[in-house]
Amino acid sequence: MVPGVPLPPEIQLAQRLAGNEQVTRDRALRKLQKYIVARSQRATGGFTPEELLKVWKGLFYCMWMQDKPLQQEDLGRTIAQLVHAFQTTESQHLFLRAFWQTMIREWVGIDRLRLDKFYMLMRMVLSESLKAVKTGGWEERQIEQLLQLLTTEILSPDSQAPNGVKSHFLEIFLEELTKVGAAELTADQNLQFIKPFCQIAARTKDSLVLHKITQSIFEAIVEQAPLAIEDLMNELDAQSGEGEGSDEDDGDDDSDEASEDEQDLQDTAPKNQPAGSVSRADLEVDEEAWDDEEDTGPVLQFDYEAVANKLFKLASRQSTPSQNRKRLYKVIQKLRDLAGGEALVGTEMVPQYTHARTQSIERSTVVCVGGGRVRLKGPTALTVPPCLLGGAQASSPVLAPGGLATFYCPVLSCQ
């Protein structure tokens, strides 16, 4: 090197980012953010892939040197948010591509004690990547470009990504997409997001990739279906609650009497209940606890039939390996069951709950919401049989027209 020739700014910043002193690293990170904003605003002379790889090497070792979990989290968030400092989509994608290439290159050198903070960094960078697309209004072209970048660098047969990077990326993708876009994305947009994973699952010869895509993408969609139903039911609850508000005042006296009767029943209830029986108090407590546990945010909405058709089109090709086809056909069947309502609506199982002393609930909708429970949405006034309440000792409540209620289901297999 010729003496007296200054190093390029990105190399100087990378060296300071990897410095021993935290004050030096923090100052370099602030300067890097300003440098990115200033340089990416130029019409010409933007960052090259090689320059961004040097920047990311400095950022990688900046994270490497950081101790203490809370400070690691703050640093990871600051690093991930650098993507928003770039002024164009192209420069953002160059920055993200350099990140994944850096993680792939440096992964084998990460020791066990530092692994968690780099898992966290991957999650944060993926989240900010999706937020950048969200800022652009979920524009179709930006979605395609981001997905192509991710699948090429991480899941392509030509990629050198270690299994740890592949596994963690597939485990967190749908989780982060849910956090960022579940409240806004349509079923068609969600299908666009998982389309590359459908294609890879149909052609990959990597058993790990096939397993992780099936488990973390397709099976996760199936498992989230009851939560999507729950979102819809919450809306129905809110709508029906507005109509019932005007009747609350008229029913105060009746409510007081009902409360007294309920208290009398609790006082006179037998202390030793038969094995396997469930008291009303236990049901109410468990119901509240279960509702708290299931109080999740919005979930991704999918057109299950469209997803199944897309997978079937890919899985039925002659070029699809038999192992992949067999695995995907199982997923397709589950998705088609969801599309037809068979997995969530148990109308075929309803007759076994018809009792001589209760009205038939054959015309009601029995929806499995998991956790050993079913939810009934009655199109007409009907009586819920005791078997759905966990024991013959429980009385049978009347479900009003269009009403909605959730009960224990000890006999219906809804796990």
Q: What is the pLDDT of residue 411?
A: 35
- Using CA atoms, how far residue 13 sits from 31, 52, 71, 364, in Å, is 8, 11, 20, 66
* Structure tokens that stand for 219 in this block: 């099976």
Higher per-residue confidence, 292 vs 188: 188
Which of 102, 137, 172 marks a domain boundary? 137
CA 245 to mean position of chain CA atoms: 35
Asked, for residue 179, whether it belongs to a domain, the answer is no
Q: DSSP class of residue 223?
A: H
Distance CA 200, CA 314 (A): 10
Q: Kindly state whether residue 1 falls inside one of the protein's structural domains.
A: no
For residue 298, name the pLDDT band (cuts at 50, 70, 90). confident
Q: Judge if pTM exceeds 0.85.
A: no
At residue 224, the pLDDT reads 87
pLDDT tens digits for range 360-409: 333 334 444 333 334 444 443 334 444 444 333 333 444 444 444 444 33
- Residue 292 domain flag: no
Task: Evaluate if residue 79 carries a pLDDT over 60.
Answer: yes
Question: Does some domain include residue 254?
Answer: no
Query: Which pair of structure tokens corresponds to residue 381?
Result: 């006034």
Residue that the structure tokens 């969530």 belong to: 344
What DSSP character marks residue 378?
-
| Residue 290 belongs to a domain | no
125 and 171 Cβ atoms separated by less than 8 Å: no
- State yes or no: pLDDT of 282 exceeds 70: no
For residues 3-9, give the mean pLDDT.
Answer: 78
250 falls within a domain? no
User: Does residue 44 fall inside a structural domain?
Assistant: yes
pLDDT value, residue 259: 52
Q: What are the tens digits of pLDDT across the range 24-39?
A: 999 999 999 999 999 9
Tell me if 67 is assigned to some domain.
yes
**Mean predicted confidence (pLDDT) in 269-277:** 47
Across the range 132-159, mean pLDDT stands at 96
235 vs 177: which has the higher pLDDT: 177
Q: What's the domain count of the chain?
A: 2
* Full residue range of the structural domain in which residue 368 is found: 345-415
- Indicate the residue among 122, 137, 152 that finishes a domain: 137
Average pLDDT on 210-231 reads: 87
Between 42-46, 142-146, 221-225, 399-403, the lowest mean confidence (pLDDT) is in 399-403
Question: Of 102, 120, 137, which one is at a domain's C-terminal end?
Answer: 137
